[in-house]
Structure 1
């Protein structure tokens, strides 16, 4: 067992080194400040790139000021901290609950309860429905990390998506939720009224919402023709996400669905149906490698997402 674990770790290291080489990313980064606080018109304070930030660069790794689980109210001793009191509270009255709701980040689970924490610097990043950075709780380092998911030029504001799961909702619904929770109007390309970018984004997201429902309804299709159509829908959905510049976690999730499709087909081949197993294995590995690259760029090479994808690649190679 120990020998097998050592072999798995060696395979994972080799796979990860290959990914870093493909992406042109160093294994470590110098400890330099990549952002500066700045006034952003219509949004108050925000953080802008202090220099050019290449895709995949870790922008921030921050420990929590405090965290709570299972309750919406921070304890008085935590709520009275000056760093917490200095954070924006868009809802009136300015209660500790409202301030916490507007600034917390998920930190994984403590037992069955979700932990949510306050991160003073991370809370300063503003929102965009088309973000250029992504936040992840790194359970290994116990730090909230933020990575550039596209190249960010010096002086450009750094944006996170506060509600990444809401990307298929119409702009009017996303705007309403942001106004209710944060009291601001999003001005990103997917939300700016009366613009070609807004109209194109709205049409694309509406089309993706319908296609996503079709994919969900056809996960367990049986005939080969139906299964081939399911794969085509998943792949088209991924291309639309890239057109919309929604790379993480949305595109990574679609890659996961595509890998699951190939795994099912491989099993059917083993049972005597479908095309050759080798073909499906090669295609599955291509997708898993693309997902690994995306995980490394957007969540960091030491993240749990990367570890999970490395395990998937290892399992596929053993099929």
Structure 2
């Protein structure tokens, strides 16, 4: 069976992962058990101890991963860990295959930790044409280019994706707006009373789409919109956004993820609330028309009505 991707040289990035054929949206590209992990907050001593606990061949494989500058083997072990490790729950893990995926501020794939499987996964968040580099995002999207460059410098590279290159000016305008909207939404979450129309949440969904960010961040934005519409009293619109959140969650994490179960439960809760509200609205109308809600037929006339007739 032909592999879905291959590791090949990537311009100015060393090695990278390239699709060998069209990869449809939602496709599982990689499922990998960590080589080793370290509990947070970690120490250099803990990283070295974990490295020494793996086999000789695994150590050799680990030492082929990207490192910036290191003069001794111990320093290289630490450098590799800092440059390639991923957060996996309460631990930080090394996954040699996942470490080969390069960064883009506008990724076409999503990295996730599946606690049920004990594996990291990579899923396509858009359709990826053949011979295209598969790219993940190492940073949160709600940052302008200068902030992203500062954080990405810790990995030892300068990003040249569309959001950092030719489209940087327009991207920065959108992302600066994202930062503002995200802060506004966080502030509104503290409100327990019925709120106004969730304009910030709806706008954030729109801007993320304009920026071609269609992965986990868009799913979370739909969730915030669902919560906002629910607080406003439009549960029907909340259901629409929650349904989109579930769709994106399955694409990013896979159907066997516990995150999908949580998201689905939220959608079902909203649907149940909507059904209950619809029942409460329709019941007075039916009673006013003299129709029994339980049977759909006109109820029997009470005795006093018979006598008065």
* TM-score, normalised via structure 1 length: 0.77
What's the counterpart of residue 77 of structure 1? Answer: 52
2:263 aligned to which of 299, 309, 318: 309
Matched with 2:289 is none
Query: After superposition, what is the alpha-carbon deviation per residue over 1:88-111, rounded to whole angstroms, capped at 9, x for unaligned?
Result: 112434432221111111211xxx
- Per the alignment, residue 143 of structure 2 pairs with 169
The match for 2:182 among 207, 212, 216 is 212
Unaligned 5+ residue runs, structure 2? 274-309
Superposition RMSD on alpha carbons, in Å? Answer: 2.0
After superposition, the Cα gap between the structure-2 partners of 1:59 and 1:236, relative to the gap in structure 1 and judged at 3 Å, is same
For residue 72 of structure 1, report the CA deviation from its aligned partner.
3.2
Q: CA deviation at 1:265?
A: 3.7
Count, aligned residues: 262
Residue 152 of structure 2 corresponds to: 178
Q: Which has the larger radius of gyration?
A: 2
- Does the aligned pair in 1 maintain the 2:226–2:240 contact within 8 Å? no
In 1, Cα distance between equivalents of 2:163 and 2:43: 31
> Counterpart of 2:288?
none
Q: Which has the higher contact order (CA 8 A, sep 6+)?
A: 1
Q: Please give the alpha-carbon distance, in whole angstroms, between the structure 1 residues aligned to 2:173 and 2:53.
A: 45
Aligned to 2:204, the other structure's residue is in SS state helix
Structure 1 residue 260 corresponds to structure 2 residue 227: yes
2:247 is the alignment partner of 1:293: yes
| Larger deviation, residues 234-243 vs 282-291 | 282-291
Mapping of residues 23-62 of structure 1, within 5 Å: 33-62=3-32
Q: 1:118 to 1:221 in 2, by over 3 A?
A: closer
State TM-score, norm by structure 2: 0.79
Distance 1:315 1:238 in 2: 22
- In structure 1, C-alpha distance between the alignment counterparts of 2:113 and 2:192, rounded to whole Å: 38
- Is 1:104 the counterpart of 2:85? The answer is yes
Cα separation, 1, equivalents of 2:6 and 2:209: 29
Counterparts in 2 of 1:214 and 1:184: CA distance versus 1, 3 Å:
same
How many Å apart are 1:38 and its aligned residue? 0.8
**1:187 equivalenced with 2:160 (yes/no):** yes
Unpaired segments ≥5 residues, structure 1: 1-30, 109-113, 267-279
Partner of 1:87: 65
- Tell me, what secondary structure is at the counterpart of 1:120? coil
